[in-house]
Structure 1
Amino acid sequence: MIGEQPFRRVGEARKHGIVCVADHASNFVPADIALGIPEALLGNHIAVDIGTAGIADRLARRHGIPAHIAAVSRIVCDLHRTEDSPGLVPVTSDGHTIPGNIGANIEGRIERFHRPYHTALGAWLDAAEPELILALHSFTPSLASREEDRPWQVALLYNQDDRAARHAIRLFEAEGLTVGDNQPYSGRDLNATMDRHAEAKGRPYMTIEIRQDEITTEAQQARWAALVADVAERTALALRGGKV
């Protein structure tokens, strides 16, 4: 983490522009936290949304969409959960036990990671008053703990406010992609960050989930960053009443 902050920022937010939030973009584990898992698992989807850090950086540096990016792994403290969620400090994930989280000081991790992340994010969004928030995630093509078909290349998640999602689904489908609508899980079940910082404030948002085999290389991430930026800009235009 940068100076013990559980987030990093790339780019400068402009008033009423588009911004990006990436809650699961890091696999960093502070040296004083022993999770008790094989190091190889830090490259696994249980620890990080693979590919999202590269896309968020490119959105900010090349496409003018500044980003608020997590700087700590979701298996240390899941920033995309409410403070009272059982999964905030997970003891298992996709069949893997995380011994170091059993009996962990959950309040301590909330104070150290969760609250600073969301306090800073809230202040950043209040100052920017964005016309659209892009919440960026990725999902694994398959789970170890259960069998299910995951054919979607990209998906849009939402809880009650689907204004932006409806436009984005149509625009991604127009690119010839297989697009999920509240898949592979529903935003009505898990939408913590956008519930708090978007829906509660009446701010339009689009939560994008990209399948991880689509964004493993830098070239793939560059392609998807350009595509996501285009869809976000056209969605923002549609929300303003323009034609896309």
Structure 2
Amino acid sequence: MNDAWKLIGEPKAGGILVVSDHASNRVPDDIDLGIDPTLLQQHIAIDIGVAGLAEIMSESAGYAAFLGNVSRLVCDFNREEHQPAAIPIASDGHAIPGNALDHEAYEARLHRFFRPYHSKLAELLEQHRPVLTLSLHSFTPQLESHPEKQRPWQVGVLYNEDDGAARIAIPLLKAEGLCVGDQQPYSGKLLNATMNRHCEAHGRPYLGIEIRQDQIRDTMGQSVWAERLVRICNEVALKLRA
């Protein structure tokens, strides 16, 4: 573990690596975001439930988990490096005044968090060559800025150009009796930066999963989803190799 990332388990050749960009709500002591601390418990700061879910999954044979180790409000790893949203000045209607940085401070934040995170992930994928990368996120049932827009999907599957794993996973998830979103609650054509960089750009198979927060908010839900995703990822990996 370092300031930017946390690795759980030991990645293995032919295994499955769980990657969660937004697993933490940690704000280092020397960074003041200038926000109400209660916001750090909400979706704008962290993908609720994914850290616990990834940790349970990492206990399965062949699995390891690579997690972001700071809040997405400190640095959003699932963005292009020089997109404004990489260090957001606002999120879902909330201003983040501590992120109004000059060029030098902005570069220092990227150098401290963004670049080490992506450098380590690139190293792991190149060294261990997992058979599948699982990009794991969670989403809120509705945004504060658009409360009228309900998100009924229990799980969404996201992808950009490479939909190979998605096409296998979607019917498997539907067979579980779930309400499944294909490119919902948003599209992987727009929000897929980490997988675009580390998987699509190198022809590495990946599966992008978004789980609604209420499904994995507690340990019981995380355990249910860990068992489900391990089964489904194993089947996806086998079919991709066939």
TM-score (norm 1): 0.96
Quickly say closer, same or farther: Cα 1:62–1:18, change in 2 above 3 A.
closer
Q: 1:200 & 1:103 partners in 2: Cα distance?
A: 31
Q: 1:141 & 1:96 partners in 2: Cα distance?
A: 18
Q: CA deviation at 1:63?
A: 5.0
Q: CA deviation at 1:61?
A: 1.9
Q: Does 1:11 align with 2:14?
A: no
Q: Aligned with 1:66: secondary structure? A: strand
* Equivalent residues of 2:33, 2:96 under 8 A apart: yes
Q: CA deviation at 1:230?
A: 0.7
Aligned to 1:90: 88
Letter in 2 for 1:116: P
Q: What is the percentage of aligned positions where both structures have the same residue?
A: 52
Aligned to 1:149: 150
Which stretch of the first structure deviates more once superposed, 27-36 or 13-22? 13-22
Q: Aligned with 1:160: secondary structure? A: coil
Matches within 5 A, 1:39-54: 39-54=37-52
Q: 1:107 & 1:56 partners in 2: Cα distance?
A: 30
Letter in 2 for 1:159: N
Matches within 5 A, 1:49-198: 49-103=47-101, 105-146=105-146, 147-198=148-199
Q: 1:78 & 1:237 partners in 2: Cα distance?
A: 32
Q: Aligned with 1:200: secondary structure? A: helix
Q: 1:103 & 1:123 partners in 2: Cα distance?
A: 30
Q: How many residues align?
A: 239
Task: Provide the alpha-carbon RMSD of the alignment.
Answer: 1.0
Q: 1:156 & 1:107 partners in 2: Cα distance?
A: 33
1:40-99 residue CA offsets vs partner (Å, 9 max, x unmatched):
110000000000000110111245410111110000000111111110111110111111
Q: 2:44 & 2:150 partners in 1: Cα distance?
A: 19
TM-score (norm 2): 0.96
Q: Aligned with 1:87: secondary structure? A: helix
Q: CA deviation at 1:14?
A: 1.1
Q: 1:53 & 1:231 partners in 2: Cα distance?
A: 19
Matches within 5 A, 1:225-244: 225-241=226-242
Q: 1:64 & 1:38 partners in 2: Cα distance?
A: 40
1:5-28 residue CA offsets vs partner (Å, 9 max, x unmatched):
311111111112111101000000
Letter in 2 for 1:132: L
Q: 1:6 & 1:139 partners in 2: Cα distance?
A: 22
Structure 2 unaligned regions, length at least 5 = none
Which stretch of the first structure deviates more once superposed, 24-33 or 64-73? 64-73
Structure 1 unaligned regions, length at least 5 = none
Q: 1:139 & 1:63 partners in 2: Cα distance?
A: 27
Letter in 2 for 1:129: R
Q: 1:22 & 1:103 partners in 2: Cα distance?
A: 26
Aligned to 1:33: 31
